[in-house]
Homo-oligomer: A and B are copies of this chain.
Amino acid sequence: MGAGRVAMTPSLKDRFFTTRKLTVDLAGPLSDADATVQSMPDASPAKWHLAHVTWFLESFILRDHVAGYHAFDDSFAYLFNSYYETEGARHSRAARGLITRPSLARILDYRTHVEAAIDAHWNILPEAALRLIELGIHHEQQHQELLLTDILHLFSQNPTFPAYWPEPAVRPVSGAPCNTMSWIAGPDGLLEIGHNGSGFAFDCEGPRHEIFLQPFALSSRTVSNGEWMQFMNDNGYGEPRHWLSDGWSWVQCDGVTAPLYWQQDKDGQWLTFGLDGLRGVDLNAPVTHISLYEADAYASWAGARLPTEAEWEVVAASHPFDGGNQLDKAGPVRPKSSDDGTLFGNVWQWTGSAYRPYPGFRAAEGAVGEYNGKFMSGQFVLRGGSCATPRGHVRASYRNFFYPHQRWQFTGLRLAKDA
């Protein structure tokens, strides 16, 4: 193997500044107004994302580990803390969109200021701070994805349907037909899941532990828009027996008849709104922006079920987790038809597993320890990352989680069945 093929792992410092730059690149098309408005309580303003991840670094690196550091602005701790109760009072989540000042420009200055301070003190940062830098990278990657999905939601509320990253209007609807769905048998019996402790992982991914699986198979790819239309045409949204009881209430109450961001034009053709604007539904692309309730109902209708997170993980363990359609740079992101031999990318895959602690789980101490454990009720696990997930962020053991009605992320489904 020639020297040119040696893949040098980028240094922590390189990865840190690369990640910071990507965030700003993703925010490139934002106006001050775009960056300020909050379109629903679940979403946050882009400005808040840009500032919050910076506040995280300023607090846990600079304030805690750099003697004499002075906060860039004393009001920011109040404005940009997210949910760290131990870090003191904070601005109400639902009111984040009312903060028109500081401006986007000032938040970008804040980012520059904190980056410069970290750069200047890099060599004196203790090991504990470097571990928090690593955590800060992954934390920021999560907010990169949220920034995109929150902007998508905001723009979807604008009757003019602006494109965040416009593309040529005549883009062909689909690059490639999707393959026939087949079934991949997974391993069964006594197995292990959970992160093994080598490399970065969030606390909720461990401890690694034994589980026992019955024989099962996963579908070779995620469900496509074309298949979803069959479900719709078969009255899938109107037939209560497919649905969980809470899901049926949600469908009735919210008048749900299609995935989020779908709409019909005056000829009845289905369009979907994305970061590249309003376009025809690509039948071969994976269905996305569906809730757990919809995923479960589809699986029920299809005579299958959702995989458990353990089933998903034992299959994914042999897949390249940095493959597939993930986020590499600022620019249009969308799920696309693919059969690239990986379970990763394109759309997050709802599992049938509630997000609960693994045996032996202990939350980390201190403010950072509030990170995951406290969200372990009412939510379901999603696996695999999406087209909006920064490449390198997910792993086989990675556990994402949302409430079963939420669907503004790039969420889809892969089927499972008993073998």
CB-based contact B100/A34 at 8 Å:
yes
Q: A31-B101, A33-B101 are in contact. Are A375 and B159 (CB under 8 A)?
A: no
- Chain A residues 363 to 382 lying within 8 A of chain B, measured CB to CB, are 370, 374-378, 380
Q: How many Å lie between the Cα of A70 and that of B95 in the bound state?
A: 39
Q: How many Å lie between the Cα of A330 and that of B205 in the bound state?
A: 50
Q: How far is the CB of A329 from chain B (nearest CB, A)?
A: 24
Instruction: From B32, B248, B293, B377, give the contact of A32 (CB < 8 A).
Output: B32
Residue of B nearest to A210 (CB): B212
Residue of B nearest to A216 (CB): B359
CB-based contact A214/B360 at 8 Å:
yes
Residue of B nearest to A34 (CB): B100
A316 at the A/B interface (Cβ < 8 Å)?
no
Residue of B nearest to A95 (CB): B157
Residue of B nearest to A311 (CB): B359
Instruction: From B190, B210, B244, B375, give the contact of A376 (CB < 8 A).
Output: B244
Residue of B nearest to A158 (CB): B99
CB-based contact A86/B241 at 8 Å:
yes
Chain A, interface size: which category? Answer: 35 or more
- Chain A residues 216 to 269 lying within 8 A of chain B, measured CB to CB, are 240-241, 243-248
A345 at the A/B interface (Cβ < 8 Å)?
no
Q: How many Å lie between the Cα of A404 and that of B354 in the bound state?
A: 13
Residues of chain B contacted by A375 (CB below 8 angstroms): 244-245
How many copies make up the complex? Answer: 4
Residues of chain B contacted by A99 (CB below 8 angstroms): 158-159
Q: A101-B33, A376-B244 are in contact. Are A75 and B160 (CB under 8 A)?
A: yes
Instruction: From B104, B305, B356, give the contact of A354 (CB < 8 A).
Output: B356
A97 at the A/B interface (Cβ < 8 Å)?
yes
Residues of chain B contacted by A354 (CB below 8 angstroms): 354, 356
Residues of chain B contacted by A35 (CB below 8 angstroms): 33
Residue of B nearest to A103 (CB): B31
A78 at the A/B interface (Cβ < 8 Å)?
yes
Residues of chain B contacted by A116 (CB below 8 angstroms): none
Instruction: From B98, B243, B370, give the contact of A39 (CB < 8 A).
Output: B98
CB-based contact A159/B75 at 8 Å:
yes
A147 at the A/B interface (Cβ < 8 Å)?
no
- Chain A residues 291 to 310 lying within 8 A of chain B, measured CB to CB, are 292-293, 296, 305
A280 at the A/B interface (Cβ < 8 Å)?
no
- Chain A residues 172 to 223 lying within 8 A of chain B, measured CB to CB, are 190, 209-214
Residues of chain B contacted by A380 (CB below 8 angstroms): 377
A60 at the A/B interface (Cβ < 8 Å)?
no
Task: List 22 A–B pairs whose Cβ atoms lie within 8 Å, in order of A's numbering.
Answer: A32-B32, A32-B33, A33-B35, A33-B37, A36-B37, A86-B240, A98-B157, A98-B158, A99-B158, A211-B212, A244-B375, A244-B376, A245-B374, A246-B377, A247-B377, A293-B377, A296-B377, A305-B357, A353-B356, A354-B356, A360-B418, A378-B404
Contacts A31-B100, A33-B103, A36-B100 aside, 16 further interface pairs with beta carbons under 8 A come to: A79-B159, A86-B241, A98-B154, A98-B157, A99-B158, A100-B155, A101-B160, A190-B212, A210-B212, A213-B359, A214-B360, A244-B376, A244-B377, A296-B377, A352-B356, A353-B356
